[in-house]
Amino acid sequence: MTTIDVKPNPVRTSANRMKLGVFALNIDGGCTLTNAPERHRAADWAGSLEVARAADRAGFEMLLPVGRWRGYGGLSNPMGESFETYTWAAGLASVTDQIALFTTSHLPTVNPVFAAKQAVTIDHISNGRFGLNLICGWFEAEMRMFSGSMMEHDTRYDYADEWLDIVRKAWSEKETFTVDGKFFNATDVFAQPKPLNRPFLMNAGGSPRGKRFCAANCDAAFLILKYMDGPEAVRAQIRSYRDLAAEYGRDIQVWCYAYVVQKDTLAEAEDYLDYYVNRMGNDIACDNVTREIGIQSGMFASTEDALRSRFHFKAGFAGLPLVGTPDMIAQELNRYSDLGLDGVCLTWLDYKSGIADFVADVLPLMETSGLRAPFGGGRRLGVAEEVYA
Ligand SMILES: Cc1cc2nc3c(=O)[nH]c(=O)nc-3n(C[C@H](O)[C@H](O)[C@H](O)COP(=O)(O)O)c2cc1C
């Protein structure tokens, strides 16, 4: 008989007060909208491996890709080249040891029976380190590539409810099952094997309907923090997800993503930011993104609200700015932990040098301040893993 060495999924079990991930390693430009030549290149697989392994070795909890099917235009066409996220996670699962591998799945692009099987495959390759970021689509040109149209906003979440119900059944039902739904008809669905650990579910809905979907179903909410509105707005934003989850009798982690510009002095960091955002920024791509996000999603109250974030969109897709010296960055992370944040996925202009500098200089400060336990293969376990019987 073969014994399987099931590992804990660190996103669920880590006791670190600020968990860490790497976001957008699978797409051109990462999260930046810039023409700067040193921007991340998706097709540099060797470079991506280097970054993924560095995160794994440093004890980061999550590798999270962006789900993207076309770029935003302008000279560098940010996100124009990207890798599909299930196969990306499967590839990285076999060359990493402890980090969780996520897919970011546009639910309207993939049949749930098929997706459940892909998820189980990654879960087994990684010995239980799989996570699924559920997204419904907002970029119309992209969604039209699959069905010629995009569903109306709230209908996308009705579809997501049905999609997820089928996936959960495929992961857990011992017998075959039949679906006669509004969106899916499936007869005698058979799905084996089952996942080793219950896959960790995440979602980034910001609209009232999206937040409800997230709170009712997911283990983590993934946010663009409203940091421009001040700390109390951030605290309230984070709390609103926890309160909503509590209505469903659930507990939920809250994560965001951040762009890191780390230098020896604040002046150097700000100059570098000015270089790649103002002098080399891709304004055409920024126009397209902010217009589309303002119109098609509930992430921002209006197109005007999205426009307010222009600088930050070019710097790191409106993620949290972590700009300055290692000490300043570590302090910011402490501050956001105090505001209720559980985890942050990091992005850089140049991921390879970025993660090396972060691990060398910021991570030790996070450990000294108690935000994270030192990682030496001996992770402190917090929450018990949930294993399917
Ligand atoms: C932190 C964060 C990350 C996201 N990542 C992606 C992504 O990788 N691909 C994508 O198409 N949409 C992504 N989105 C968009 C959301 O999936 C969602 O479509 C958007 O928030 C609109 O939903 P809503 O109207 O319920 O807010 C992201 C949103 C946020 C806030």
pLDDT classification of 379: cutoffs 50, 70, 90? very low
And the tokens for 184?
């899916």
pLDDT confidence of residue 93: 97
Residue 302 is assigned to a structural domain of this protein:
no
The pLDDT of residue 389: 41
201 and 221 in contact (C-beta within 8 Å)? no
Given phi > 0 = left and psi -120 to 50 = alpha, else beta, which region is 51? Answer: alpha
The single residue listed with the structure tokens 């749930």 is: 112
CATH of the domain at 126: 3.20.20.30
| Residue 191 CB less than 6 A away from ligand 1 | no
Supply the DSSP symbol for 27: B
pLDDT band at 314 (very low <50, low <70, confident <90, very high): very high
Q: How far is the CA of 323 from the centre of ligand 1 (A)?
A: 24
Q: At residue 382, does pLDDT exceed 60?
A: no
Q: Which residue has a Cα nearest atom 30 of ligand 1?
A: 204
State the pLDDT at residue 138: 84
Cis peptide before 37 (omega within 30 of 0): no
pLDDT of residue 222: 98
Q: Give me the chain's average pLDDT, please.
A: 93
Mean pLDDT, residues 44-67 taken together: 97
Asked if residue 305 has pLDDT above 90, the reply is no
- Of the CA atoms within 13 Å of residue 122, those in its CB half-sphere come to 28
Find the domain containing 159 and state its range: 10-281+314-368
Q: Ligand 1: does its nearest atom lie under 6 Å from the Cβ of 160?
A: no
**Average pLDDT for residues 102-120, to the nearest whole number?**
97
Q: Which two tokens stand for residue 324?
A: 């300055």
How far is residue 327's CA from residue 175's CA, in Å, rounded to a whole number?
55
Q: Is position 128 within any domain? A: yes
The tally of domains found in the chain comes to 1
**94 Cα: distance to centroid of ligand 1 (angstroms):** 27
Q: Tokens for 146?
A: 């699959």
Instruction: Tell me, yes or no, whether 187 lies in a domain.
Output: yes
The answer to whether residue 388 sits within a structural domain is: no
137 CA distance to ligand 1 middle (Å): 7
Nearest residue (CA) to ligand 1, atom 18: 205
d(CA 169, CA 85): 22
Picking from 140-149, 225-234, 274-283, which range would have the lowest pLDDT averaged per residue?
140-149
Cα–Cα distance, 65 to 124 (Å, whole number): 19
10 lines ligand 1 (CB under 6 A): no
Report how far apart, in Å, the C-alpha atoms of 207 and of each of 138, 187, 194, 373 are: 12, 34, 33, 35
pLDDT digits (tens, 9 = 90+) for 148-201: 888 999 999 999 999 999 999 999 999 999 999 999 999 999 999 999 999 999
Residue 192 belongs to a domain: yes
381 vs 5: which has the higher pLDDT: 5
Which of 64, 68, 102, 138 should be mutated for ligand 1, with most atoms under 8 A from CB? Answer: 138
Query: Distance (Å, rounded) from C-alpha 292 to C-alpha 290?
Result: 6
Q: Residue 2 falls within a domain, yes or no? A: no
Per-residue pLDDT band for 297 (boundaries 50, 70, 90) equals: low
No. of helices (H) and no. of strands (E), the chain: 15, 11
pLDDT of 326 reads 98
Distances (CA, A) of 181 to 155, 187, 216: 14, 11, 20
Domain membership of residue 119 (yes or no) is: yes
Considering the domain boundaries, does residue 48 fall inside one? yes
Mutate to test the pocket of ligand 1, among 142, 297, 345 (most ligand atoms within 8 A of CB): 297
- pLDDT, tens digit, 9 for 90 and up, residues 77-110: 999 999 999 999 999 999 999 999 999 999 999 9
